[in-house]
Amino acid sequence: FLHAIACQSITTYGQRHGAGDALGLAQTAFALGTNAATAQSIANLVWACAALVYQHTPFRNAIAAQSIRMITEFQNQNLANTAWAVASLVCENRPLINALAAEAIRRLKHFPPLEISSSAWAFATLGYNVLPLWTAIAAAAIRTITEYNPQSLANIAWAYATLEFTDGPLMKALAAAARRHSLAFQPQK
C-alpha cells in the first residue's frame, strides 16, 4: 500500500517538476521495494513511468523483469494498466509483452469492458498480432458488448482495424452496439 502511495507521489512530483527530477525518487522507491514489492506496487510504478513518459532503459528493464516474475499475482486491472503503460511508453520488451499477452489470454473472460478495450488498444499499439490473444479479446468483448461506452467500442474497432484482423461475430456485435450509441459518439479532439 505504501509503495502505491509512493508511486502516485512520484508521478505527481514528476508532473510538477519534470520527469528528470523524479528519476532519483523512482529508482530509490523501486530499489527499496523490490524484495517487498507487491503486484499492485509494480503495476503502479509501471503506470507512473508511463504517466511521466519516463524512458530510462535500465530502470524500465528492471521493472519489466519484476513484472514478469509477478505477472500471475497481478489483478486484472493491474494487468490491463501495465499493458497500457507498456504501449504508452512504446516499450519493446518482448518478454514482458509476451508475458502480459499470455496472462491476458488466460484471464480475459473475467475482464470488465474497460480492461478489455484498453488491453486491445495496448496490444494493437504494440503491433502484437498473435491470433490467440485477439480471439480471446473478441470472445470477451462479445460477452460484455452491451456494457461498452462509445470510447471502449471505438478502441476495440480501432485495434482490430489497426492489425487488419477481422472477426465476423465481433464486427457484428460492434456494429449493433455502435448503432445503440450512435448519438453519443463524438469526434476525437
Would you mind telling me the total number of residues written for the chain in this entry? 189
Query: Which residues, 6 or more positions from 123, have their beta carbon under 8 angstroms from its beta carbon?
Result: 83, 87, 97, 101, 104, 133, 134, 137, 159
The separation between the first and the last C-alpha atoms of the chain, rounded to the nearest angstrom, is 36
Residue 32: its pLDDT value, please? 47
Least confident of 4-13, 39-48, 175-184: 4-13
Q: Is 0.75 topped by the overall pTM? A: yes
pLDDT in tens, 154-168: 999 999 999 999 889
Of 118, 101, 98, nearest to 50 by C-alpha is 118
* 57 pLDDT above the threshold of 90: no
Tens of pLDDT, residues 17-54: 555 555 555 555 555 455 557 888 788 888 877 877 77
CA gyration radius, the chain: 17
Burial 22-38 (b: 16+ CB within 10 A, else e): bbebbeebbeebeeebb
